[in-house]
Structure 1
Amino acid sequence: MKFHILGICGTFMGGLAALAREHGDAVEGSDQNVYPPMSTQLEALGIALASGYRAEHISGDVDEVIVGNALSRGNAAVEHVLDAGMRYTSGAQWLAERVLPGRTVLAVAGTHGKTTTSSLLAWILESQGAQPGFLIGGVPGNFEVSARRGAGACFVVEADEYDTAFFDKRSKFVHYRPRIAVLNNLEYDHADIFPDLDAIKRQFHHLVRTVPGNGRLIVNGEDAALAQVLAMGCWTPVDTFGIDADAHWRARLLAADGSAFEVHRHGEHIGTVHWPLLGRHNVMNALAALAAAQAAGIDARVALPTLAGFRSVRRRMELLADAGGVRVYDDFAHHPTAIRTTLAGLRARAGAGRVIVAIEPRSNSMRLGAHAVELAPSLDAADVVVFLRRPDLPWDAEGVIGALRGEGVAAANVDALLAALRLHVRAGDQVVFMSNGGFEGAPLRFAAMLSQG
C-alpha cells in the first residue's frame, strides 16, 4: 500500500512512517516544520518529504492518508482529503489495526518520562533477547531509530494522552489495548485541550479500563492523582514503584545525582545500578521499566546490569559539546516539573559549578501561560536563565523573569539569545537548552560557537 502522512515529522508520525516502510509499504509525507532528528531518520528511509500542507503534495495514487493530531478543519491538506473522498485514518488507529494485533503491548503513559521509560523498557527487553518492537517519541541511543516492528512478541509503545485527531477526540492511548500499562505520573498539562486535571484523570481511567484482568498495571506509588484514578475502578493487578513511598518496587539512592542506586522488590534487595543518567526522576523511570519487564516475563535481577549500558534518548539531557570547559546539553523538558527534576539532577552533579539555562516556552500549555506561576520556581537550580520571549508570546513573561532566583535575561529572538549566552558563559559552566521544538538549531549553533573559540 501507499500512505501519505500528514504531520510526518512529529516523533509519533515519523515512527509510523518507519514501521510502514519496514513492512514494505510506500510512504510519503508532509509537515509544516521539517527538522532533525526525525527529518534525518525519514530521509535515510527514502521517504519523500514535502514542506507545507498543500493538496498538490498528496499523490493521486495514495491508498490512505494518516492524519496527525496537530491538523484540524480548515487546513488545506485536510480539506482536500475530505473533498476528494480519500480514505483516511488517525495515527493511533493505524498503529492499532496494522501493527499491534497479536502482540503483547506494553504501553507507557504519564505526564513525564514516557520517552525515557519506553526506551529503558525496550532496551531491557532487547538485552534479554526478547527482540521487541517499539514506537517511541524520540530516538533511543541504543537503537538509533524511534520505531521498529521487532521479531519478538512484545511491542513497547509510548502512550500519549493527547487527543487522537480532529475527528477523534479520545486520547491516543485508548487505541492500544495494552496487556501491561505503566502509569508514570499525572499532572495538569495540554491546556489547549484539557480544562483541568480531572479531565485528564478521566482519560487515564479510560486507559485503565482497557487493561485485562490477567495483565498488569505498573503505577507510581508516590502520585496522588494516579491513586485517584485507580480509585475510580481497577480490575487489573497493580505493582507500585517509588523511592519515598512504601511500594512493591523501591530504590535507595546511593548518589545524590541519581547515578547510583539500589533496587528492592517486595523488600528484597535485587541489585545495584551504576549508570550514566542523572536525577531522581530517571531512577523512578528505571523502576517503572524494570517492573514492566518483570511483568512481561523478564527476570529483573538478571536484567539489572544492562542499565549500565543504557544510552539516553536524544534531546533528553543529550551532551552536545564539551569545549573550553563548558558542557552544553539539549533537553526536551517543557513542563515545570520536568524542568525542576532535570535541573536538580544536573545541580547535584555540578556541585558549586554554575548552571545556565536557555529556555523556549514552546509547548501549547507553555504558550498559553498555563504553567507561568510554576515556571520560575522550577528554574531555582539555575544561576542564569536566558528566556526566549518572542514578540508573539501571548502572556507577560516579565513576572516570570523577575521571580527567578538567579539572574534572568530576556531575548526577543534566537540570535539575541545566543549573543546573551556568549556574554554570560565562562569555563566550568553547564549550559542546558530546554525546548520541545527545534529551537531554530540554537543548541548546535551555540556548541559550534564554543568550538570556534
Structure 2
Amino acid sequence: MHIHILGICGTFMGGLAALAREAGHRVTGCDAGVYPPMSEQLRALGIELIEGYGAEQLQLEPDVFVVGNVVSRARLADGTPKFPLMEAILDAGAPYTSGPQWLAEHVLQGRHVLAVAGTHGKTTTTSMLAWVLECAGLAPGFLVGGVPLDFGVSARLGAQAAGQPRPLFVIEADEYDTAFFDKRSKFVHYRPRTAVLNNLEFDHADIFDDLAAIERQFHHLLRSVPPSGRVVVNGLEESLARVLHQGCWSEVASFGSADSDFSADGPAHDFAVLRRGQREPVGRVRWALGGTHNQLNALAAIAAAEHVGVPPAQACAALASFQNVRRRMELRGAAAGVAVYDDFAHHPTAIRTTLDGLRQRLGAGARILAVFEPRSNTMKLGTMAAQLPWSLESADLAFCHTAGLDWDAAAALAPLGARAATAADLDALLAQLLAQARAGDHIVCMSNGSFGGIHARLLQGLAARPAFSA
C-alpha cells in the first residue's frame, strides 16, 4: 500500500508513518514548518518529505491519503485554500482517512492495546510503560508523542511474546479531535484493553467549551474498554472520579492517594511502592528523575503493566533504568557555567510541574530562569493567561516570547513584577536572557515547537561571552 500523509511531521502522524514503513508500506508525506526531531527520524527511515500542501501532490496517486488534524478547510486572507491538496482530494473523490482510523484498522486490530490518556504526562508515562514491558521481555509495539531515549524512535510494531495471547501495543491516547471530518477524540478509535487515566483538567480551549466536555470524551473512552480490561485511574483527581461515575464496566486500579491500590512512600527520586492491603512494599523505584508528577507517572505504569502480567517489583526494577524522553527536561548543554534544558511544557500546570521538579532537585540556592512561548492553541487564545504567574512561582526569572499573541502577556505576568520580561522578537528575548544569565544558573526553555532553535543559540551566546562569575 502507498499512503501519503498530510501533516506527517506532527508527533502522532510521524509515528504512524514509521509504523507504516516498518509494516512494508510505501510512505510519503507533506507538512509545513518541518523541524527535528521528527523530520530527522522520518528521513532516516527513507520517507520522502514534501514541503507544503500543494495540489500537485494529488499526482502521487497513493492508495489512500491519511489526513492529520492540522489540516482544515480554512482559507487565507486572499480567499485561497490554506490546504489546496485537501481541496484537490475532495474534488477528485480520492480515498482519504484519518490517522487514528488508519492506525486502528491496520496496526491495532488484534492487539492488546494499552492506552495512556490524560492532560499531562501522557508521553512520559507511555514511554515508561513501554520500557517496563520491554524489560519484561514482552516486545511491545508502541506509538509515543516524542522520542523515548531508551528506544531512540517514537514508534515500532513490536512482536508477540511467548505466553501472551495477543501482541502488546502501548499508545499515547490523545483527547484532541481526530480530523476536520471526524470531531471525536483520537483515543476513541483505539479500543484499549488497558486504559490509563493519568489526570484531567481543562485544556484545548479551541475545541472544548469546558471541562465537562472533556470528561465526556474520557467517558467515551471507558465505554470501549472490555469487561476483562483494566482502567488505571489517578485517585487524586476529582475530574476522573466524575468520569468513572458516568459509567465503568471494567476492573479499576487506582493510584496516587493513600487509599489507592498503588501509592508511593518517599521522595520522588527514591520511593517505595505500596499495594493496598499489603504491609510490605511491593517494590522500590530509585532513578534519576524527580518531581511528584514522575512519581505518579511511575505508579500508573506499574499498575498498567501488572494487567499484562508484569509483577510490580519487576516493573520497579525496570523503571530504575528508564532514561526519560527527548524534550522532557532534556539537558541540551552547558556553557559559561549555565545549564540549558529543553522541555515540552506548554500548559500552566505542566510549566509549574516542570519547574517545581527542578526546584526540588536543585534546592533553594540555585537560580532557575524560565523561558517559554505560549504556542499551543489553548495558550494562544489566552484562556489560561491568568494562571501563568502561578505556574512560574518556582522560577527566579521568567521570559515570555510573545510573537503571534493577541493578548497582553506583560499584563498577565505583572504579578511577578521585575522577575518577568517579555519580547515579541526572538533576538530581543535572547539578549534579555544573556544579560541576566550568570554562572550556576539553570535555564529551562519550554515550548511544544522548535522555539526558533533557542537552545543552541543560547549556548552559542553564552560560550561567546567573556568569563564571568556568579
Q: Is the 8 A contact 1:320 1:328 kept in 2?
A: yes
One-letter code of the match for 2:113? V
Q: Match for residue 66 of structure 1?
A: 66
Matches of 1:60 and 1:378, distance apart in 2: 47
Q: Is the 8 A contact 2:401 2:426 kept in 1?
A: yes
Matches within 5 A, 1:37-436: 37-74=37-74, 75-152=83-160, 153-242=167-256, 244-254=257-267, 258-266=268-276, 267=278, 268-351=280-363, 352-390=365-403, 392-404=404-416, 407-436=419-448
Instruction: Give SS of 1:403's match.
Output: helix
How much has 1:58 moved relative to structure 2?
Answer: 4.0
Matches of 1:321 and 1:451, distance apart in 2: 11
How much has 1:405 moved relative to structure 2?
Answer: 6.5
Matches of 2:158 and 2:2, distance apart in 1: 21
Deviates more, 1:28-37 or 1:56-65: 56-65
How much has 1:322 moved relative to structure 2?
Answer: 2.4
Matching of residue 22 in structure 1 with residue 22 in structure 2:
yes
How much has 1:59 moved relative to structure 2?
Answer: 3.9
Q: Is the 8 A contact 2:388 2:413 kept in 1?
A: no
Instruction: Give SS of 1:123's match.
Output: helix
One-letter code of the match for 1:141? L
Aligned residues: 448
Matches of 1:52 and 1:14, distance apart in 2: 16
In structure 2, list runs of 5 or more residues that go unmatched: 75-82, 161-166, 466-470
Q: Match for residue 468 of structure 2?
A: none
How much has 1:378 moved relative to structure 2?
Answer: 0.7
The Cα offsets for residues 347-382 of structure 1, whole Å up to 9 and x where unpaired, read as 111211000011100000000011111111110000
Q: Is the 8 A contact 1:383 1:406 kept in 2?
A: no
Instruction: Give SS of 2:444's match.
Output: strand
Instruction: Give SS of 1:269's match.
Output: coil
Matches of 2:107 and 2:286, distance apart in 1: 35
Q: Is the 8 A contact 1:350 1:430 kept in 2?
A: no
Matches of 1:361 and 1:30, distance apart in 2: 25
**Identical residues among aligned pairs (%):** 59
Q: For residues 187 and 406 of structure 1, do their structure 2 counterparts lie closer, same or farther at Cα, with a shift above 3 Å needed?
A: farther
Matches of 2:463 and 2:2, distance apart in 1: 44
How much has 1:406 moved relative to structure 2?
Answer: 6.3
How much has 1:451 moved relative to structure 2?
Answer: 3.6
Matches of 1:65 and 1:447, distance apart in 2: 41
Q: Is the 8 A contact 1:380 1:406 kept in 2?
A: no
Normalization by structure 2: what TM-score? 0.93
Matches of 2:460 and 2:311, distance apart in 1: 44
Matches of 1:190 and 1:308, distance apart in 2: 33
One-letter code of the match for 2:431? A
How much has 1:440 moved relative to structure 2?
Answer: 0.9
Q: Is the 8 A contact 1:222 1:245 kept in 2?
A: no
Matches of 2:46 and 2:462, distance apart in 1: 34
Instruction: Give SS of 1:337's match.
Output: helix
Instruction: Give SS of 2:400's match.
Output: strand
Q: For residues 271 and 14 of structure 1, do their structure 2 counterparts lie closer, same or farther at Cα, with a shift above 3 Å needed?
A: same
Matches of 1:405 and 1:321, distance apart in 2: 29
How much has 1:142 moved relative to structure 2?
Answer: 0.4
Matches of 1:27 and 1:327, distance apart in 2: 39
Q: For residues 89 and 18 of structure 1, do their structure 2 counterparts lie closer, same or farther at Cα, with a shift above 3 Å needed?
A: same
Q: Match for residue 79 of structure 2?
A: none
Q: Is the 8 A contact 2:58 2:88 kept in 1?
A: no
How much has 1:277 moved relative to structure 2?
Answer: 1.1
One-letter code of the match for 1:355? I
Matches of 1:189 and 1:252, distance apart in 2: 30
Instruction: Give SS of 1:436's match.
Output: coil
How much has 1:323 moved relative to structure 2?
Answer: 2.5
Matches of 1:109 and 1:343, distance apart in 2: 22
How much has 1:245 moved relative to structure 2?
Answer: 3.7
Normalization by structure 1: what TM-score? 0.97
One-letter code of the match for 1:449? G
Q: State the Cα RMSD in Å.
A: 1.2
Matches of 2:97 and 2:246, distance apart in 1: 31
Matches of 2:45 and 2:175, distance apart in 1: 28
One-letter code of the match for 1:45? L
